[in-house]
Amino acid sequence: MTEKVSGPTGAELLHNPHINRGSAFTLDDRRRLGVEGLLPPVPDSLEIQIARVEHQLAALDSDLQKYLFLSDLQARNEVLYYAVLMSDPARFMPLVYTPTVGEACQKFDHVFRASRGMYLPITAKGRLQEILGNWPTQDVRFIVVTDGERILGLGDLGVGGMGIPVGKLALYTACAGVPPQMTMPVTLDVGTNNHALLDDPLYLGLRQERVRGAEYDAFIEEFVQAVMTRFPKCCIQWEDFANINAVPILERYRDKICTYNDDIQGTAAIALAGVFGALRITGQKLADQRFLFLGAGSAATGIAELISEAMMLEGIKPADARARNWLYDINGLVTSARADIADFQRPFAHDPLPVGSFVEAVEAIKPSAIIGVSTTPKLFNRQVIEAMSRLNERPIIFPYSNPTSRSECTAEEAYTWSDGRAVFASGSPFPPVAIKDKTFVPGQGNNVYIFPAMGMAILATQTRRVTQEMFIVAARAVADQVTTEDLGRGLIYPPTTRIFEASLLTATKIAEYVFDNGLAAVERPVNIEAHIRALAYRPAYGA
């Protein structure tokens, strides 16, 4: 008697990426599932399949081709896709996410093949809940959503922005084991102001200018309500919205639902992790530091606010903590005397000081750390770094502007001009630097140390809210994982080669905080780390 099989069989099975095993179906399974004859006759192992993927990747010339090949694999066989990514996350991250994903988003309409994720156009307003019902799985726990307006540093890419939620969610799985079937990439199409796209006959999005104001806000509200109704346990992560929308959306929903914005909060957390790491080298306390930011945009104010909140946890009063964070922008030092200060900068607009240049601001404020988030290269010049080195035994120098061409200084400049005393980390990667007989390994402040771990912690706790303290805990956990040996080489972040293990440990620390503070919607497990390890997705075909 033949066994009754539930779920797809035959050719349909081979087209379902969640359950397809391709050439790895055993002979028994092939007979049972009706795919005999639809595959080459001899079954493979997952290891052989991985080796074949590597072989095929090696034959491709460009990173974009590799990106597209891996996207096709994801649409065909999810286990194999994640087995490949998780075999070496540090190598595959740049292929499935930045920088390659940027080019893929720019060329989205020209390279488009299989559709992935959920598209919600503003023309469908009033029907979002119904459309979300078309998603093939019921238990969605994690959404990354963009409206495509500020994709990386590339601007408005309309629906081409979908590459970002897709790539980012792949990293939630590959770097922290968030199960892929619980994730959903979403693009809200509210139009685009990119005229090259509107004029391109291959453009796949709505051909209209971006909707703004009350109509936009109502669409976001409908989206949030529809998600909460369809997927009540879901966390919404906002991604690559323009500042004018990102900040108010976060403010509107952060105290109402489980939600966060990685550009704002993840960025701040990875910078704070760098600060905690640097303090392990200098042996000082956070409360004793003074920070001067070059740049006063969303990155600067987000980092300054999280640093201030971490100082408050060390007992510093809010006003005193913020007074230890100064901003310097295109118009000079941000002070209360300036008429052009925006609300979000106001907490860091202090009493005026007579300074006419950034180096004069360094001399007057005497910061222990300078953080570059100005998008302008070379402003941490020799004079600035020499001044920092005169004022501090171990000056903290973080040029965080991306890409490399916009970095406020190079690693070599920071180490050379400080005579090897700088504690350095950057937004973009730099190679090791040899000064005299010592080799320094520059750390890269990459949000990937934070967001996958945050996702796993949210999944494990079903936290009702995502709080600032959770990001401070995450930052501390990342910094605590840097080995003494790495600190000795100047490296203040853990290596990305260990990202999966690092993320599970960071997720455990965040989850402990969530349980300790009564934010969890599930019962506290006896062993939180074991609970997280048990939840983590591992790519395997199983029985």
Are 396 and 303 spatial neighbours (Cβ–Cβ below 8 Å)? no
The secondary structure of 117-135 as a DSSP string is SEEEEGGGTT-HHHHHTTS
CB neighbour list of residue 253: distance below 8 Å, 6 or more residues apart? 224, 236, 259
Among the listed residues 297, 399, 442, 455, the single contact to ligand NAD using CB under 6 A: 297
Query: Least Å distance between CB 334 and ligand NAD?
Result: 8
- As measured in angstroms, the least distance from the Cβ of 308 to ligand NAD is 17
Q: Which is nearer to ligand NAD, 68 or 271 (CB)?
A: 271
User: Which of 16, 65, 376, 462 forms a contact with ligand NAD (CB under 6 A)?
Assistant: 376
* Among 24-32, 298-306, 359-367, 411-419, the segment contacting ligand NAD (CB under 6 A): 298-306
Q: Which stretch binds ligand NAD (CB under 6 A): 5-13, 187-195, 368-376, 479-487?
A: 368-376
On the CB side of 508, how many CA atoms lie within 13 Å of its CA? 18
> 150-179 mask for ligand NAD (x: CB under 6 A)?
---x--------------------------
**Which amino acid is residue 207, in one-letter code?**
R
Q: Are 328 and 358 in contact (CB under 8 A)?
A: yes
Least distance between ligand NAD and beta carbon 97 (Å): 13
Asked about 97 being catalytic, the answer comes back as: yes
* Binding window for ligand NAD (CB under 6 A); candidates: 72-80, 180-188, 399-407, 513-521: 399-407
Instruction: Give the footprint of ligand NAD on residues 45-74 (CB under 6 A).
Output: none
Whole-number Cα distances in Å, 382 to 143, 182, 205, 410? 45, 50, 47, 11
The DSSP output letter for 335 is: B
CA nearest to 25, candidates 12, 40, 5: 40
- Can you read off the two tokens belonging to residue 355? 């300074």
Among 98, 106, 173, 267, binds ligand NAD (CB under 6 A): 267
Q: How many CA atoms lie within 13 A of 170 on its CB side?
A: 32
Closest CA to 5 of 30, 32, 23: 32
Residue from 406, 414, 471, 510 binding ligand NAD (CB under 6 A) = 406
CB of 510 to ligand NAD, least distance (A): 19
To the nearest whole angstrom, how small is the minimum distance from the Cβ of residue 270 to ligand NAD?
A: 5
Shortest CB 498 distance to ligand NAD, Å: 19
Measured distance CA(407)–CA(410) in Å, rounded: 7
**Min. distance of Cβ 401 from ligand NAD in angstroms?**
3
- CB 185, CB 236: distance < 8 Å: no
CB nearer to ligand NAD: pick between 74 and 447 = 447
Using CB under 6 A, pick the residue from 23, 87, 208, 375 that binds ligand NAD: 375
Among 22, 89, 160, 295, binds ligand NAD (CB under 6 A): 295
Stretch that binds ligand NAD, among 57-65, 401-409, 469-477, 524-532 (CB under 6 A): 401-409
Site stretch for ligand NAD (CB under 6 A), options 16-24, 123-131, 201-209, 289-297: 289-297
CA gap 226, 41 in Å, rounded: 46
Going edge to edge, which strands form the sheet with 291-294? Answer: 332-333, 325-329, 291-294, 369-372, 396-399, 423-426, 443-444
- If the CB atoms of residues 210 and 406 are measured against ligand NAD, the closer one turns out to be 406
Minimal distance in Å, beta carbon 428 to ligand NAD? 7
Give the residue with the Cβ less far from ligand NAD, 294 or 388.
294
493 labelled catalytic:
no
- Rounded to whole angstroms, the Cα distance separating 538 from 280 reads 33
Q: List the interface residues with ligand NAD, window 317-356 (CB under 6 A).
A: 329-330
Site for ligand NAD (CB under 6 A): which residue of 183, 298, 308, 506? 298
- The active-site residue out of 168, 328, 449, 513 is 168
Question: How far does the chain reach from its first CA to its final CA, in angstroms?
Answer: 21
How far is CA 457 from each of CA 333, 498, 511, rounded to the nearest angstrom? Answer: 39, 18, 5
Ranges of H-type helices in 62-99: 63-76, 78-87, 89-96
Which C-beta is closer to ligand NAD: that of 395 or that of 445?
Answer: 445
Cross-strand pairs, 183: 142
Among 373, 409, 458, 520, binds ligand NAD (CB under 6 A): 373
Q: Minimum distance from CB of 120 to ligand NAD (Å)?
A: 25
| Residue-by-residue DSSP string for 338-380 | -S---GGGGGG-BS-----SHHHHHHHH--SEEEE-SS-TT-S
Smallest separation, CB 327 to ligand NAD (Å): 7
Residues in the chain, overall count: 543
Contact region with ligand NAD (CB under 6 A), list: 39-47, 49-57, 291-299, 521-529: 291-299
From 299, 311, 450, 491, residue interacting with ligand NAD (rule: CB under 6 A): 299
Does the protein bind ligand NAD through residue 462 (CB under 6 A)? Answer: no
Q: Between residues 43 and 155, which has the closer beta carbon with respect to ligand NAD?
A: 155
Reduced to 3 states (helix: H, G, I; strand: E, B; else coil), residue 251 is helix
Contact 414, 380 (CB under 8 A): yes
Contact 417, 398 (CB under 8 A): no
Spatial contact of 407 and 428, defined as CB atoms under 8 Å apart: yes
In terms of Cα–Cα distance, which of 246, 148, 143, 243 is closest to 190? 148
Q: Which of 81, 82, 97, 260 is catalytic?
A: 97
Interacting residues of 359 by C-beta distance below 8 A, sequence separation 6+: 381, 383, 384, 387
Q: Give the number of C-alpha atoms closer than 13 A to the C-alpha of residue 530, restricted to the C-beta side.
A: 4
Q: How many residues bind ligand NAD (CB under 6 A)?
A: 25
Residues binding ligand NAD (CB under 6 A): 153, 243, 267, 270, 294-300, 329-330, 373-376, 379, 400-402, 406, 427, 445, 447
- Residues noted as catalytic: 97, 168
